[in-house]
């Protein structure tokens, strides 16, 4: 039996076990139960009885990187079997999404005070150049960091003077960075920055984290980290894929037969409200609705279940998290630049029109009409008139903010001009399609 101690911030809350046959089990500590601690997941409420494999496997997988290519690179770097979720988490689970960290039972968590090592320009440039080969890692550094998703990325700590540091001994990070996807034109770093800046202009600072470009990488402030006088506090989060009890491989709708998963997301909010875990279900439904609309209007077909999440509050209640991973795919494609590397390293940004989560009868991002939004409204528990008005309102705001966002971004980053052109064309087309459909 192998065991990982699960910590909520810096307090042990549960034990995660795996037997020799690979069967997983999670059991809350008596001290966590007695103190009235939060659950590690809405699927795993605090109780004395241990949870079995079927319930625990999606929980473990939700913290890990995805995709065979990325997993295989981690296997070579860390000498751990790529398909071995428990083993991989035991190696890289010291800093992950939300408030949880995972430590082998023979280790003494926080025995060495969590701290940071200054990141040199040379180390960062080496990582940026070879990020597709060094997911999450830096050459010669012992980084115990886990981030979900299939794209190469890393997380760093930035101090008040915007100096970058590598985390040590389980120290929390403050920002996630993504380099451009190799071979993709125009640069995905520029396009994601434009997409999120426009979303920020529409939804506001409370619902879209601050983003910028740092050393030619897209950088986003972590909304699951809170900076205060005492330092950085981890805030717990849970994506909708886990909250619905699905493995990361099930973050997309199946096609035959076609699942319709947006309805269950909104019903989940209602269910959590009835359980007292969401204080204002109507408001949280509106926040999720706005994110679905934004993803559609900004031409982001890859908005799947792991791109929507809950953020836990101090009192244990949940709210829909700020928007993240919104990338306009219009105009993205791969060229034979970069030595033809795109053939084996195309990654997730290959231009696709197919929606990860269907809206109405539309299965392609540029085919959504107001009639599809009306069908979506019926499936998700809204009135048709309300959703029509909301979509038109958001489209009008986007139409007003689009040009200023693109022009200001390109003025500050002249090399983003091509990305700005593709982004402007894609979003303009989406708005014309919606407003022109009645």
- For 253-294, what is each residue's pLDDT tens digit? 987 778 899 999 999 999 999 999 999 999 999 999 999 999
| pLDDT attached to residue 17 | 95
> What HEC string does the chain produce?
CEEEEEEECCEEEEEEEECCCCCEEEEECHHHHHCCCCCCECCECCCCCCECHHHHHHHHHCCCECCHHHHHHHHHHHCCCCCCHHHHHHHHCCECCCCEEEEECCCCCCCCCCEEEECCHHHHHHHHHCCCCCCCCCCCCCCCECCCECCCCEEEEECCCCCEEEEECCCCCCEEEECCCCCEECCHHHHHHHHHHHHHHHHCCCCCCCEEEECCEEEEECCCEEEECCEEEECCEEEHHHHCCCCHHHCCCCCCCCCCCHHHHHHHHHHHHHCCCCCCHHHHHHHHHHHHHHHHHCCCCCCCHHHCEEEECCCCCEEECCCCCCCCCCCCEECCCHHHHHHCCCHHHCCCCEEEEEECCEEEHHHCCHHHHHHHHHHHCCCHHHHHHHHHHHHHHHHHHHHHHHHHHHHHCHHHHHHHHHHHHHHHHHHHHHHCCC
| pLDDT attached to residue 64 | 86
> Does 346 have pLDDT greater than 50?
no
User: pLDDT tens-digit profile of 195-238?
Assistant: 999 999 999 999 999 999 999 999 999 999 999 887 899 999 99
Buried residues in 234-255 as b, exposed as e (16+ CB within 10 A): bbbbbbbbbbbebebebbbbee
**Percent of the chain scoring above 70 in pLDDT:** 86
If 0-12 CB within 10 Å is exposed, 13-18 middle and 19+ buried, where does residue 326 land? buried
Average pLDDT over residues 392-409: 97
> Does 140 have pLDDT greater than 60?
no
C-beta of residue 73 within 8 angstroms of C-beta of residue 135: yes
Q: Which two tokens stand for residue 204?
A: 């506001």
Report the distance separating Cα 87 and Cα 386, nearest Å.
Answer: 48
Least confident of 278-282, 301-305, 330-334: 330-334
Q: Which two tokens stand for residue 302?
A: 């890859």
Average pLDDT over residues 297-302: 95
C-beta of residue 305 within 8 angstroms of C-beta of residue 403: no
User: pLDDT tens-digit profile of 79-97?
Assistant: 666 568 888 888 888 888 8
Phi, psi at residue 160, to the nearest 5°? -65, -20
pTM, rounded to two decimals: 0.91
Which positions ≥6 away from 418 have C-beta within 8 Å?
185, 186
> Does 67 have pLDDT greater than 90?
no
| pLDDT attached to residue 255 | 76
């Amino acid at each position: 039996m192998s065991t990982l101690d699960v910590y909520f911030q810096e307090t042990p809350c549960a034990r995660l076990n795996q037997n020799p046959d690979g069967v997983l089990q999670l059991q809350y500590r008596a001290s966590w139960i007695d103190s009235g601690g939060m659950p590690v997941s809405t699927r795993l409420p605090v109780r004395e009885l241990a949870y079995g494999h079927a319930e625990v496997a999606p929980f473990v997988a939700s913290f890990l990187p995805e995709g065979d290519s990325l997993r295989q690179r981690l296997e070579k770097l860390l000498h751990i079997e790529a398909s071995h979720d428990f083993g991989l988490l035991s190696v890289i689970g010291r800093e992950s999404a939300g408030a949880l960290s995972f430590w082998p039972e023979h280790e003494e968590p926080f025995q060495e005070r969590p701290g940071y090592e200054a990141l040199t320009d040379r180390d960062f440039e080496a990582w940026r150049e070879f990020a597709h080969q060094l997911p999450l890692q830096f050459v010669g550094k012992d980084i115990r960091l886990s981030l979900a998703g299939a794209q190469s990325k890393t997380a760093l700590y930035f101090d008040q003077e915007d100096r970058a540091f590598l985390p040590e001994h389980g120290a929390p990070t403050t920002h996630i960075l993504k380099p451009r996807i190799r071979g993709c034109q125009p640069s995905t770093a520029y396009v994601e920055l434009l997409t999120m800046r426009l979303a920020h202009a529409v939804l506001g600072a409370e619902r879209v984290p601050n983003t910028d470009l740092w050393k030619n990488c897209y950088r986003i402030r972590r909304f699951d980290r809170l900076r205060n006088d005492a330092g950085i506090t981890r805030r717990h989060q849970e994506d909708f894929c886990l909250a619905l009890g699905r493995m990361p491989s099930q973050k997309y709708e199946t096609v035959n037969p076609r699942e319709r998963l947006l309805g269950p997301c909104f019903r989940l909010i209602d269910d959590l409200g009835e359980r007292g875990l969401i204080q204002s279900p109507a408001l949280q439904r509106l926040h999720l609705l706005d994110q679905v609309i934004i993803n559609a209007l900004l031409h982001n077909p890859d908005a799947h279940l792991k791109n929507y999440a809950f953020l836990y509050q101090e009192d244990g209640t949940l709210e829909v998290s700020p928007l993240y991973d919104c990338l306009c795919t219009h105009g993205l494609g791969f060229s034979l630049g970069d030595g033809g590397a795109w053939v084996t390293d195309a990654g997730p940004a290959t231009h696709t029109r197919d929606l990860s989560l269907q809206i109405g009868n539309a299965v392609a991002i540029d085919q959504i009409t107001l009639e599809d939004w009306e069908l979506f409204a019926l499936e998700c528990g809204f009135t048709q008139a309300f959703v029509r008005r909301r979509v038109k309102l958001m489209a009008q705001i986007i139409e007003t903010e689009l040009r200023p966002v693109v022009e200001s971004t390109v003025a500050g980053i002249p090399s983003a001009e091509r990305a700005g052109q593709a982004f402007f064309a894609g979003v303009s087309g989406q708005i014309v399609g919606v407003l022109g459909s009645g």
